[in-house]
Amino acid sequence: MDDKNSQVRVMSNSESNDYDGVTIDEHTGEEETPKQDPYQRITFHTMGWKDLFFSNSTWLTRLAVVLVILAVAGIFIFAVMPVLLVLAGVGIVAWLLMNLFFH
C-alpha cells in the first residue's frame, strides 16, 4: 500500500483542467466528476496558404490545389478578360458615335 501511495500526487491546475476523468478532492476525499463546459470542445480553424502547401498534405493534394488555381486563372484570362475587353470596346465606340452625332 505504501508503494501505491508514494506514486500519488496532487495534480497541477493545468493538469486538473485538462484531465477528463474522475478525481478525488484533496480536502474532502470525495470523488469529483469532471465539470463539462459545453463550449470547451468547440475549436475553429481557418485554412490558409501554409495549410495547403506546407502542412502534412500529400503531393497529390498540392497538385490538385495548383491545378484548381491554374484553372481559375485560365478561365479568368481566356473567358472573362476577352468579354470585358469587348464590352469596353463597344462602350468606347458607342461613346465616340454619341459624341460625333449628338454633340
SS3 assignment for 15-80:
HHHHCCCCEECCCCCCEECCCCCCCCCCCCCCCCHHHHHHCCCCHHHHHHHHHHHHHHHHHHHHHH
| Residue range of the domain that includes 63 | 2-102
Q: Record the pTM.
A: 0.42
* Count of structural domains within the chain: 1
Q: What is the pLDDT of residues 51-73, one digit of tens each?
A: 766 777 788 888 888 899 999 99
Q: What is the pLDDT of residues 4-15, one digit of tens each?
A: 556 777 777 777
